[in-house]
Structure 1
Amino acid sequence: MYVISGAECFDPSPRGHLDLLVAGSEVVAMGESGSFDAVGELAEAERVDARGKLLMPGIVDALTHPCGGGGEGGFGNRTAEIDVETFVRAGVTAPVGALGTDSIGRSLEVLYGNVMGMRRQGLNAFMLSGAYRVPAPSLTGDIARDVYLVSPVVGVGEVAIADHRGTQPTAQELRRLAAETQLGGILAGEGGTVLVHVGAGESRLKLLRDALEGSDLSPSVLYPTHVNRSTALLDEAADWALRGGFVDITVSTTPELIAAGDITSERALRRLLEAGAPAEKITLSSDAGGSLPVYVDGELVGLTAASPDSLPELLLSLHSENPDLFPVALAGMTRNPAAALKLADAGAIAVGGRADLLLLDPAAGAVESVMAGGQWLLRRGEFLL
Structure 2
Amino acid sequence: MKAIVNAKLVLRDHLMSEGYILIEGGLIAGFGEMRDFKAPEGCGLIDAEGLFVGPGLIDIHTHASDRVFFIDDPAAVSQYHLRAGTTTVLPALYFSMNQREWLVAIRTIRSAMSDPRCKNIGGLYMEGPYLNPKFGCDKENNPWRGPVSRADYMPIVEAAKDIARVWAVAPEREGILDYVRDVRRLCPGAVFAVAHSEAEPFQMEPLLPLGLRIGTHHTDATGTIQKYPEVKGVCVDEFVNYHREIYAELICDSRGIHVDPFMLRLIRKIKGDDRIILISDAYAADGPTPPGYDGVDDINFDYAGEIAGSKLTLSAAMRNMMKHTGASIVDVFGYASRNPAEALGFADRGEIAVGRRADLIVTDYWMNVKTTILEGEEQP
TM range (shorter): 0.7 to 0.9
Paired residue type of 1:178: V
Structure 1 residues 316 and 170, CA, compared in 2 at 3 Å: closer, same or farther?
A: closer
Find 1:315's aligned residue among 315, 318, 328: 318
Question: Per the alignment, in what secondary structure is the counterpart of residue 211 of structure 1?
Answer: helix
Structure 1 residues 304 and 141, CA, compared in 2 at 3 Å: closer, same or farther?
A: closer
Structure 1 residues 320 and 279, CA, compared in 2 at 3 Å: closer, same or farther?
A: closer
Alpha-carbon RMSD across the aligned residues, in angstroms, is 4.0
Correspondence for 2:368: 366
How far apart in 2 are the matches of 1:324 and 1:155? 27
How far apart in 1 are the matches of 2:112 and 2:24? 24
Paired residue type of 2:9: C
TM-score (norm 2): 0.73
Paired residue type of 2:370: E
Structure 2: which 5+ runs fail to align?
A: 131-147, 225-233, 292-301
Paired residue type of 2:217: H
Correspondence for 2:166: 155
Question: Per the alignment, in what secondary structure is the counterpart of residue 332 of structure 1?
Answer: helix
Find 2:177's aligned residue among 175, 188, 201: 175
Structure 1 residues 357 and 173, CA, compared in 2 at 3 Å: closer, same or farther?
A: farther
Structure 1 residues 280 and 219, CA, compared in 2 at 3 Å: closer, same or farther?
A: farther
Question: Larger deviation: 345-354 or 125-134?
Answer: 125-134
How far apart in 2 are the matches of 1:229 and 1:46? 46
Correspondence for 1:75: none
Please tell me whether the aligned partners of residues 144 and 180 of structure 1 are also in contact (alpha carbons under 8 angstroms): no
Correspondence for 1:100: 94
Find 2:217's aligned residue among 218, 226, 229: 226
Please tell me whether the aligned partners of residues 359 and 376 of structure 2 are also in contact (alpha carbons under 8 angstroms): yes
Question: Per the alignment, in what secondary structure is the counterpart of residue 55 of structure 1?
Answer: strand
Please tell me whether the aligned partners of residues 252 and 287 of structure 1 are also in contact (alpha carbons under 8 angstroms): no
Correspondence for 1:285: 279
Identical aligned residues as a percent: 19
Please tell me whether the aligned partners of residues 278 and 318 of structure 2 are also in contact (alpha carbons under 8 angstroms): no
Question: Larger deviation: 88-97 or 113-122?
Answer: 113-122
How many residue pairs get aligned? The number is 337
Please tell me whether the aligned partners of residues 219 and 240 of structure 1 are also in contact (alpha carbons under 8 angstroms): no
Structure 1 residues 285 and 321, CA, compared in 2 at 3 Å: closer, same or farther?
A: closer
Structure 1 residues 83 and 146, CA, compared in 2 at 3 Å: closer, same or farther?
A: closer
Q: Please state how far the C-alpha of 1:93 moved relative to its aligned partner.
A: 0.7
Question: Larger deviation: 120-129 or 288-297?
Answer: 288-297
How far apart in 1 are the matches of 2:29 and 2:11? 14
Question: Per the alignment, in what secondary structure is the counterpart of residue 121 of structure 1?
Answer: helix
Question: Larger deviation: 174-183 or 287-296?
Answer: 287-296
Q: Deviations over 1:172-212 (max 9, x none)?
A: 533333333344454xxxx321233336xxx3x52xx3334
Structure 1 residues 129 and 299, CA, compared in 2 at 3 Å: closer, same or farther?
A: closer
Structure 1 residues 232 and 304, CA, compared in 2 at 3 Å: closer, same or farther?
A: closer
How far apart in 2 are the matches of 1:98 and 1:340? 16
Q: Please state how far the C-alpha of 1:340 moved relative to its aligned partner.
A: 2.0
Say whether 1:351 aligns with 2:354: yes
Paired residue type of 2:218: V
Correspondence for 1:246: 247
Structure 1: which 5+ runs fail to align?
A: 72-77, 162-168, 378-383
Question: Per the alignment, in what secondary structure is the counterpart of residue 98 of structure 1?
Answer: strand
How far apart in 2 are the matches of 1:65 and 1:299? 18
Q: Please state how far the C-alpha of 1:343 moved relative to its aligned partner.
A: 2.4
Paired residue type of 1:307: K
